[in-house]
Structure 1
Amino acid sequence: VPVIRLLLLILHLQCRAQKDNVVQPQGDVTAAEGEAVTLHCGYNSSRNGPSLYWYRQDGNQSPKFILSRFKLDEGNTEEHFKERFSSSLNSDLRSVPLKIQKLQVSDSAVYYCAVEPTVTGNNTTLYKNLWSKDNTILHNIH
């Protein structure tokens, strides 16, 4: 049975005034094909009812939108992911776990959790900052 490895990184979006961020307790997750996994993501937000997002990055490709959650099960899920990917926003626990059913080898990727706003910058240039668990910047996505 092939082993599937999922790498979780924090998409920490620096909001200086609001101090909104996500907290990713796991690093690598390893599971067998056909199993189910839950990728955990906690968040801090100064907003009442923040928007949270999950993205997936395969290899050197750009991150792809999986889903968004605004409260409980409200939000959008990209059509390609609707069958096996789900999430519920728990505002009491401040978490938005991503559940993946029936793992496939093609699910091996880097998964990002983000809290709105997901971009900072001016009208012409938008920046996304990727941060590691020890709060060192990994790289910018422009």
Structure 2
Amino acid sequence: MGRKVCYFWCCFSTGLTAGDSITPRNNEVISTEGESVTLNCTYKTTYTQPRLYWYRHYPNQAPQFILYKGARSSSSEHIPDKRYQSTTSKTSTKLVIQQLTLSDTALYYCDGASALFPAPISLR
């Protein structure tokens, strides 16, 4: 089985409201093919119903939508591929990728619909 390394790198951002930000929680996560991995981001916003989005980005391609999940007073969600799961809280979002394969090696972004800029996470 191959080895995967998930590098988190920080990208603070500002949205329409001063102080909005989203950033990966950890610097690095290591997992292997066939296992599950959890990617975490924390966010700060004054928006009461944020939607938290996850994207996957392969080199030289456009980012691909994975899912969105509502947080705080928003219960909306759209998760088309059941291999992915997400949980949200008032300050964080998690993406769980089950049964890792080599094709999961990519740059992942967590983003907020309240005009937060995406925070990149590299999965290798």
Structure 1 length as normaliser, TM-score? 0.70
SS at match of 1:22: strand
- The CA RMSD measured in Å over matched residues stands at 2.5
| Contact 1:10–1:113 (Cα < 8 Å) also in 2 | no
Larger radius of gyration: 1
Cα distance between partner residues in 2 of 1:74 and 1:117: 14
Q: 1:115 aligns with which of 104, 112, 116?
A: 112
Cα distance between partner residues in 2 of 1:51 and 1:63: 18
| Cα distance change on mapping 1:116 and 1:108 into 2, 3 Å | same
| Contact 1:9–1:112 (Cα < 8 Å) also in 2 | no
1:48 corresponds to: 48
Identify unmatched segments of 5+ residues in structure 1.
120-128, 133-142
Paired residue total: 118
Identify unmatched segments of 5+ residues in structure 2.
none
Question: Which protein is richer in strand relative to its size?
Answer: 2
2:82 corresponds to: 83
Kindly state the Cα deviation for residue 9 of structure 1 after the two structures are TM-superposed.
Answer: 4.5
Cα distance between partner residues in 1 of 2:75 and 2:35: 23
| Cα distance change on mapping 1:131 and 1:99 into 2, 3 Å | closer
Within a 5 Å distance, the mapping from 1:1-142 to structure 2 comes to 1-9=1-9, 12-71=12-71, 74-77=76-79, 79=80, 82-91=81-90, 94-118=91-115
| Contact 2:53–2:67 (Cα < 8 Å) also in 1 | yes
1:122 corresponds to: none
Structure 1 runs, 4 residues or longer, greater than 4 Å off: 9-13, 129-132
SS at match of 1:15: coil
- Identity among equivalent pairs (%): 30
Cα distance between partner residues in 2 of 1:69 and 1:26: 20
Kindly state the Cα deviation for residue 107 of structure 1 after the two structures are TM-superposed.
Answer: 0.4
- 1:21-55: CA deviation from partner (whole Å, max 9, x where unpaired): 11212233321100111101111011112111111
SS at match of 1:117: coil
| Cα distance change on mapping 1:117 and 1:12 into 2, 3 Å | farther
